[in-house]
Chain A
Amino acid sequence: MNPSLVWNFTRQELVDRYAGSSLGFAWAFIQPLVLLFIFVVIFGGIMGARLPGVEGGWAYSIYLVAGMLPWLAFSATLMRTSTVFVDKQGVLSKVGLSLPVLPLFIVIAETVTFAIALGLFALLLVSIDHPWRLQVLALPLVFAVQQALALGLGLLLATLNVFLRDVREFVAVLTQLWFWLTPIVWVPGIVDTGLYSRLYRLNPLLPLTESYHAMFIGEAVLPLKALAGVAALALAALALGWFTVRWLEREIRDTL
C-alpha cells in the first residue's frame, strides 16, 4: 500500500462519506460545534457546573472538552480499527492489500476530525481570553501515544473479529465501561485516593487524560513517568498487534 492509497482511503473516509449530501464537508464542522455548544453553553452556562478548586465559570466546560475530544478520537479509532478487516472485506477479497497497514487510514481520519474539533476549541479559548499553558506543546506527542495504543489494540481485536464477530459488540461495551473508568466527566477528587491510584495503574488512559487536563486548565504538571509507561505500553500493543496480524494473515485471508 503506497502513501497515496492510504491518503485516498482517508479522503474517502472524511470527504466521500458526505458525497451526495448538499452541505458536504461542512458536516465535519457541524458535529464538533454542536458538541462544544452542549458542553460549554449547557453544562457551563445554563447548568452552571463548577470545577472544584478552580476559579471561573468556564473551568468545568474546559475540563470536559479537554478530556472528551481526545477520548472521542481514541474510542472511534479503537472501534473502527477493530472491525476494519470485516468492514473492508469487499476490497480485501479482490486486491492484495497489506493487512497491518490498512487501518492507518482510520488513525489519520480520526486525527483530522480531532484536529478540526481542537481548532474550534482553541478559537473558543481565545474568544474567552483563557490563559494558555505551556504544557499544551506536548499535545501532539501525547496524542500520538494515544493513537498508537488505539491502533495496537485495534489490530489485535480486528484479527479476533474475523473469527469471532461478537468482537464488535464487545468493543462497544468495553469502550462504554472504559469511558466511565476515566476521569472525563468526573474529577479525580471525588474518588477514594486508594482506589484512584489502583485505577491509575490499570487504566492507561488515565495518565493521558490527566495530561490533557494539565494542558488546558489548573496548575498540574504532566505526569511524565506515567506517560512514559503508557508510551511503552502503546509500542508493545502496536508490536503485538502487528505480529498477530502477520502470524494469522493466511487464516484471516482464507476466512474473509
Chain B
Amino acid sequence: MIQVDNVCKQFRLYRRPVDRVKERLFRRSFHSVHQALDNVSFSVPSGQTLGIIGHNGAGKSTLLKLLNGVLLPDSGRIHAGGRITGLLELGTGFNVDLSGLANIENNGLLIGMSREEVNARREAIIDFSELGDFIHEPLRTYSSGMVMRLGFAIAIHAQPDTFLVDEALAVGDAHFQQKCYRAIRAFREGGGSILLVSHDLNAIKRLSDQALLLDHGRVFELGEPEAVVNSYNFLVAQQGDADVVMRSDSGSEDGTGAHGHQGADYGDGRAQIVALSVAGNDSRGSTVSAGETTRIRVRYQVNQALPELTVGILVRDRFGQDIFGTNTYQLGVTAASGAGEWVLDFTVDMAIAPGRYSLSVALHTEENHLDTCHHWRDLAGGFEVAGVHGPRFTGVCRLPTTVRAIPGNGV
C-alpha cells in the first residue's frame, strides 16, 4: 500500500556546487529552478500494479527516488506501508573482488534485509540466480548477465512490501526474463504492490491495474492503462507531427533522396510521397492494440499527370522482415493520378503481434515497383502494437478463426 499526497519536488540547478554555499552567504540567488514534480498524488493498494509512463524528464525517476528515500520531497506526504525496494538498487554495493556469496550479504543488507533474512533466503537466492558453483567465485569473473541475475535474485527475495520496477526488466536471456516475470507475478499475488516504470507500453498495458501519465512533472492522467497509454500516444503524436512537417519542408528543397532517412528512398520523382500518418481508431495515435482498426494515411504529390498510379504500403517488423504489404492495384482501387496533391487512406485490421513496426510506402505503376518506380521510401513511418483487442493469440498474426465443438465424440 502506497499513498502519495500532493508531492512537489524542485531541483535548484547550480552551475557549480559552490554556488549553493555562496547563495547562503550572500543571500543572492545563484540558481535556476527545475520543477521535477508538481503536486503529484496517487495511491496503490496492496496487490496492485501501477504503471508509470511519460517522456524522458517527465519526473518518473524522481518519483521513484522519492519513494525509496534517496531524495526527500519539498512538500507533500509519502506514506509507504513497509519496505520499498526495487531494481533501482540492483547490485548496489557489489564488490567485484568478493564472491557472489559475500555479495548476497552486502547487497541484501543494503536493500533492507536483516541478517536473519539473508541467512534464511541465501539458498533460494542462489537457486534463482542459477549461478551454481560460480557463487563461490569472485564477481569479477562473472559475465554482466550473471551479475544482473544475481542482483535480481537478491531483489526479488528481499520480500519488500512494494517493488519499484524500472526499465531494467530485461535481465538476462529470454528464459531468465520469463522467470523474472513469473516471480513478479507471484509477488503481486502474495499481496505486494508494484510500481512499474517503462517505455514498453505493451508491458504497461499487460501488467498494470492502473496507469499514471506524467507530463512535465504533473499528473496528466491517472486511470485505466488502455486509456492512459492512448493519451500518452496522443501527447507523443502532437510532438511527432511537428517533426514530420519540418522534415518534409527541408526535404522538398533538394528533391528526393535527402530526407534524413536511413532506409532506401529513391524513384524517378514523377510522383512523391509527402507524408504518412498512422492512427488507431481508439488510440488516435501511432500505438495501437493488436486487432484495432487502424488508418494509414498516405499523402502524395503527382508532379505531372500520369496515366495510372499504384500506391502501396508495406509493414515490416523490427528485424526488417516483411509482415504484410498491399497496394491499390491488388485491392482493385484506382488511385488519383492527376497533377496535384492527393490523400489516400488504407484501413487495416491490425491483427499482428505486439511490437514495433516500420512502414514503407511506394508509388509505382501496375502491380509492383519493378518496372517503373516513381518513389519508394523505407521507414516512411512507424507504429507500435501494444496490447490485444479481442482474443489473445500466439505468433506473428491473428488469422480469423472459429472454433466449434463436434458433439457425440465423448468417451
* A-B interaction: yes
Interface string of A160-171 (1 = CB under 8 A from B): 101111000000
Contact A5 B109, beta carbon cutoff 8 Å: yes
Q: Which B residues are CB-close (under 8 A) to A162?
A: 17
Give chain A's interface residue range (CB within 8 Å of chain B): 20 to 34
A221 sits at the interface (CB 8 A): no
Query: CA of A131 to CA of B171 in the docked complex: distance in angstroms?
Result: 65
**Interface-facing stretch out of B87-95, B300-308, B398-406:** B87-95
- Min CB distance A188 to B, Å, is 39
Contact A96 B70, beta carbon cutoff 8 Å: yes
B138 sits at the interface (CB 8 A): yes
Contact B106 A92, beta carbon cutoff 8 Å: no
Contact A91 B93, beta carbon cutoff 8 Å: yes
B69 sits at the interface (CB 8 A): yes
Contact A250 B98, beta carbon cutoff 8 Å: no
Query: CA of A224 to CA of B138 in the docked complex: distance in angstroms?
Result: 51
Contact B97 A16, beta carbon cutoff 8 Å: yes
Given contacts A4-B114, A4-B115, A8-B105, contact A95 B70 (CB under 8 A): yes
Q: Which B residues are CB-close (under 8 A) to A87?
A: none
Query: CA of A9 to CA of B219 in the docked complex: distance in angstroms?
Result: 39
B348 sits at the interface (CB 8 A): no
Q: Which B residues are CB-close (under 8 A) to A163?
A: 17-18, 20-21
Contact B74 A250, beta carbon cutoff 8 Å: yes
Interface string of A80-105 (1 = CB under 8 A from B): 00000000001111111100000000
A19 sits at the interface (CB 8 A): yes
Given contacts A16-B95, A19-B97, contact A250 B20 (CB under 8 A): no
Chain A, range 56-100, C-beta contacts under 8 Å to B: 90-97
Q: Which A residues are CB-close (under 8 A) to B111?
A: 95
Task: Please name the residue on chain B nearest to A92 by beta carbon.
Answer: B70
- Min CB distance A61 to B, Å, is 37
Q: Which B residues are CB-close (under 8 A) to A20?
A: 97, 138
B11 sits at the interface (CB 8 A): yes
Q: Which A residues are CB-close (under 8 A) to B115?
A: 4
Given contacts A8-B109, A19-B98, A254-B71, contact A95 B20 (CB under 8 A): no
Query: CA of A94 to CA of B155 in the docked complex: distance in angstroms?
Result: 13
Q: Which A residues are CB-close (under 8 A) to B95?
A: 12, 16, 19
Chain B, range 1-57, C-beta contacts under 8 Å to A: 11-12, 17-18, 20-21
Q: Which A residues are CB-close (under 8 A) to B18?
A: 163-164
A253 sits at the interface (CB 8 A): yes
Q: Which B residues are CB-close (under 8 A) to A4?
A: 109, 114-115
Q: A8-B110, A91-B93 are in contact. List 18 more A-B contacts (CB 8 A).
A: A4-B109, A4-B114, A4-B115, A8-B109, A16-B102, A19-B97, A20-B97, A90-B92, A92-B70, A94-B88, A95-B92, A96-B69, A160-B21, A162-B17, A163-B20, A164-B17, A250-B72, A254-B71
Q: Contact residues of B with A, CB < 8 Å?
A: 11-12, 17-18, 20-21, 68-72, 74, 88-89, 92-93, 95, 97-98, 102, 105-106, 109-111, 114-115, 138
The contact sample of 13 A-B pairs, CB cut-off 8 A, is A2-B109, A4-B109, A8-B109, A16-B102, A19-B97, A20-B97, A94-B70, A95-B92, A97-B110, A164-B17, A164-B18, A253-B70, A254-B11
